[in-house]
Structure 1
Amino acid sequence: MIWLETKKLIVVAIGALLNAMAMNFFLIPANVYASGFAGVAQLLSGIFGSFASTGILLFILNIPVTILGWKKVGKSFTLYSFISVFLMSLFLEIIPIIQLSEDILLNAVFGGVIAAVGVGITLKWGASTGGMDIVAMVLSRMKDRPVGTYFFTLNGIIIVTAGFLYGWEKALYTLVTLYASTRVIDAIHTRHEKLTAMIVTKKSDEMKKAVHAKLVRGITTVPAKGAFTNEDKEMMIIVITRYELYDLMQVVNEVDPNAFTNIVQTTGIIGFFRKD
């Protein structure tokens, strides 16, 4: 368990480092903007000039969000997300801003891809890069709407503001960055807000107790039988958010490493889905 948490911290640190490198080597020198709170911090840093750096502003913006996430989302997820934000802010201050290329398109694409790898591996290990991830989770649970709506709104504001401040060419290249980021994150993790897990196990009672101890989700069980072994089993069907996938897989591996688990995308739900 300690080694698992250590690996998670290492992955979060690598993700934060990749995000900081993407910004200081590609996006900031080219005045191309990242998505979410990182992009907001870039814009504010550009407005305030030398009074506040991107790293410091990113950290300040995430303080109220962390408090909100601690109360509404979950302590473990929020803790690792805050660690990710803290490390990213630290790396942004330590790593010098260097322009590796004068080609704005290369900066936009490579910055977006490298940042997305950092975000993707962080999400895959049950944390986030903070900021809009946490806000969107809270809002989606209150309204039960896709988090993509809130990401799109905030990123739209970033693009329009960048266009007004630095010209519409910069705004268009910011769109390239956002597109590249989205595609890479989708490939590494998953773009779908809700997922359905179907777990076939012989330890259904222990599995149900462990899942309920970790997640606030309903479970539907269906009798199942192995066609080859003819053994009696149960199939557990659980609808979760993408942010809960890591915790669920940890529970499955701990309770029954031999369980067969199928994760599929869920495009819509009719009926009750617990949001808090």
Structure 2
Amino acid sequence: MKFDVKKDLKRLIVVLIASMLMAVNIKTFVRTGGLYPGGVTGLTVLIQRVCQLYFHFEIPYSVVNIALNFIPVYIGFKFIGKKFTIYSLIMILCTGFLTDMLPGHVITYDTLLIAIFGGIINGIVVSLCLSVDATSGGTDFIAIYLSQKRGMETWNLVLGFNVIILGAAGILFGWDKALYSIVFQYVSTQTLQTFYRAYQRQTLFIITDKPEEISEMIFKISHHGATLMTAQGAHEHKQLHIVYSVIGADDAKKVILKTKEIDENAFVNSFRTTELAGNFYMRPKD
């Protein structure tokens, strides 16, 4: 396990900022609105409220959250990456302790506003963590493990887990808060998709006179191969070369800019891939 001082210091700073934002979000929006975020965070909040309402004692957020993250953290160390898991563990610990320590401040009692702005902050926090190869814990570990190691689609699994949490919350505390929590999760997901694109796929069709150079460049930047095809223009009946490749959306902009450097006359058609079957290279977590 090698350390790069500059890179790892940046990762640590980003994780600490993310943990602070997450704790503030929980104390300012989630608790004020009585919402239940997705994943282990939502389960932690649910367990806290059950203990308060039915057993009349308050259990610290950090204790519950760390206990629930034990198995996901083990999966991270064992199967995903040690540094990845260490930074994720820092995120989990700091978020837990800060949530217990920081005072709560009420900005608004409007539950819809709380759901929207709380969801935006939650999506930004998760995006920050993922951008430096860390997670906020819980189901993120399991989702990344199943995506990278098993090639499984994880959306239904995570959604099913969240449905169980919201169902329990609705039965115990009322369905209005559970429904507002769906708004929170939807806004969070949309924010995440806007800011973090590593798990999105982009298809490129590039018409060029330099197919070999461009295909080599694509592999160098994204570690993905390309398919070379020949075609004929319908108007001038000129023979054309087409480079076809599917890459990560976070690499697409770099590839397109480099393509224009190699061949300024290249024609690039780029669009999002919504479904993909077969082997697709994923950068391993460190």
1:10 aligns with 2:13: yes
TM-score, normalised relative to structure 2: 0.71
Q: Tell me what 1:70 maps to.
A: 77
CA contact (8 A) 2:39 2:161 kept: yes
Are 1:174 and 2:210 an aligned pair?
no
Aligned-partner residue type, residue 65 of structure 2: L
C-alpha distance in structure 2 between counterparts of 1:29 and 1:271, whole Å: 45
> In the alignment, is the contact (CA less than 8 A) between 1:81 and 1:129 conserved in 2?
yes
Residue 100 of structure 1 corresponds to which residue in structure 2? 107
CA positional deviation for 1:269 = 2.9
Separation of aligned partners in 2, 1:272 and 1:64: 28
8 Å contact from structure 1 (residues 55, 89) kept in 2: yes
Query: In the aligned structure 2, how far is the partner of 1:201 from the partner of 1:127?
Result: 34
- In the TM superposition, what is the alpha-carbon distance from 1:47 to its structure 2 partner? 1.4
Shift of 1:173: 0.9
Judged with a 3 Å threshold, the aligned counterparts in structure 2 of structure 1 residues 183 and 18 are, in CA distance, closer, same or farther, namely: same
Larger displacement relative to structure 2 (88-97 or 33-42): 88-97
Corresponding residue SS for 1:164: helix
Match for 1:31 among 16, 30, 34?
A: 34
RMSD over equivalenced CA pairs, Å: 3.6
Runs of 5+ unmatched residues, structure 2: 205-211, 229-242, 261-267
Q: Is the 8 A contact 1:201 1:259 kept in 2?
A: no
Once the two structures are aligned, what percentage of the paired residues are identical?
Answer: 26
Q: Output the TM-score relative to the length of structure 1.
A: 0.74
The residue aligned with 2:48 is 45
Q: Tell me which residue corresponds to 1:214.
A: none
How many residues are paired up? 246
Cα distance between partner residues in 2 of 1:260 and 1:90: 48
Q: Deviations over 1:35-78 (max 9, x none)?
A: 11100100011112334222321122112211111111122222
- Measured in 2, the distance between the counterparts of 1:129 and 1:119 equals 6
Deviation at 1:194, TM superposition (A): 5.0
**CA–CA distance in structure 2, aligned partners of residues 238 and 59 of structure 1:** 38
- Tell me, yes or no, if structure 1 residue 268 matches structure 2 residue 261: no
Give the whole-Å Cα distance in 2 for the aligned partners of 1:220 and 1:173.
44
In 2, are the aligned partners of 1:16 and 1:84 still within 8 Å (CA)? yes
CA distance in 1, matches of 2:130, 2:246: 20
Larger Rg: 2
Contact 1:147 1:193 in 2 (8 A): no
Asked if 1:159 is matched to 2:188, the reply is: no
Distance 1:267 1:23, change over 3 A: same
User: Which position in structure 1 is the counterpart of 2:63?
Assistant: 56
Name the structure 1 match of 2:143.
136
Distance 1:24 1:97 in 2: 5
Separation in 2, partners of 1:183, 1:274: 25
Cα pair distance change 1:144/1:28, threshold 3 Å: same
In the TM superposition, residue 7 of structure 1 has moved relative to its aligned partner by: 1.4
Q: Residue by residue, what CA displacement relative to the aligned partner does 1:130-175 show, whole Å, maximum 9, x if unpaired?
A: 1111112223456533221122111111211110111011111111
